């Protein structure tokens, strides 16, 4: 294992531990919401949400089982999707209306065994996708404390490492999500499950099959309205 890979693993573990500690503190300090169903009204204002889920991309190419050390090109096998890897994210937003909010979303997902180029050995099979997006989020009450939630977003994307050395790794992206959220009995604290889809349009990532990188993620989340 390379030292940079080990460092990334350590940082990811520390980040996950910090998120758990922060949300535990919020849960301890939050006041219980004991209002009846008929009295309940969703708290509004500034909110912070974080998530840890699973991500895969559609398309890509997988290395053969044996790759000669002196090889400069290879024939990779096309595949329908990458391996499933972790995805983490955080949203800072504000409710501009009872059913509508805007926010900034930061996210990073990891991709396994899905190179973007079919024969260039310098094109990585494993990489990370990082996003910084502006999101428009909506919610619709469906039953008591349950809401149907959705969002559309647009922003910037990066691929690390780049598809090839010395090639630009920055681009743009668009996406959408649909999920179910629940307002817990801890006032302001909500949880949910979202299904996200995103297209990252990074130069040189089109492989003749897909125009960019199409990713799908399933995200359990937790948030708090201040």
Q: Output the domain CATH number for residue 75.
A: 2.40.160.20
- Split into its structural domains, the chain has a count of 1
40 in a domain, yes or no?
A: no
The C-alpha atoms of residue 20 and residue 28 are separated, in whole angstroms, by 12
One DSSP character per residue, 64-76 reads -S---TT-SB--P
In the block, tokens 């955080």 appear at: 90
197 contacts 173 by C-beta, under 8 angstroms: no
DSSP 31: P
186 in a domain, yes or no?
A: yes
14 in a domain, yes or no?
A: no
Which residue(s) pair with 196 in the sheet? Answer: 177, 217
Largest Cα–Cα distance of the chain, in whole Å?
A: 71
> Where does residue 72 rank: exposed (0-12), middle (13-18), buried (19+ CB within 10 A)?
exposed
Q: Hey, is 27 helix, strand or coil?
A: helix
217 in a domain, yes or no?
A: yes
106 in a domain, yes or no?
A: yes
| Residue-number span of the structural domain to which 92 is assigned | 45-225
User: Going residue by residue through the chain (226 aa), what tens digit of pLDDT does each one get?
Assistant: 444 443 444 445 555 555 555 555 555 555 555 554 456 677 899 999 999 999 999 988 887 766 666 666 677 888 999 999 999 999 999 999 888 999 999 999 999 999 888 877 778 889 999 999 999 999 999 988 999 999 999 999 999 988 877 777 888 999 999 999 999 988 889 999 999 999 998 876 554 444 689 999 999 999 999 9
């Amino acid at each position: 294992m390379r030292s940079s890979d080990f460092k990334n693993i350590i940082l990811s573990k520390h980040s996950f531990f910090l998120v758990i500690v922060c949300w535990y503190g919020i849960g301890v300090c939050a006041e219980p919401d004991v209002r009846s169903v008929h009295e309940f009204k969703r708290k509004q204002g500034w909110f912070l949400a974080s998530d840890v889920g699973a991500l895969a991309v559609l398309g890509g190419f997988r290395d053969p089982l044996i790759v000669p050390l002196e090889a400069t090109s290879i024939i990779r096998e096309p595949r329908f999707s990458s391996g499933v890897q972790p995805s983490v994210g955080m949203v800072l937003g504000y409710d501009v209306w009872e059913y509508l909010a805007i926010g900034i979303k930061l996210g990073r997902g990891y991709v396994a065994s899905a190179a973007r180029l079919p024969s260039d050995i310098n094109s990585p099979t494993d990489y990370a996708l990082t996003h910084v997006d502006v999101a428009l989020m909506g919610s619709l009450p469906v039953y008591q404390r349950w809401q149907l939630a959705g969002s559309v977003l647009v922003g910037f994307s990066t691929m690390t490492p780049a598809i090839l050395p010395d090639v630009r790794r920055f681009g743009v992206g668009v996406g959408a999500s649909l999920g179910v959220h629940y307002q817990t009995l801890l006032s302001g604290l909500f949880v949910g499950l979202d299904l996200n889809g995103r297209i990252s349009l990074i130069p040189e990532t089109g492989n003749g099959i897909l125009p960019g990188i199409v990713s799908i993620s399933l995200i359990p989340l937790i948030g708090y309205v201040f």
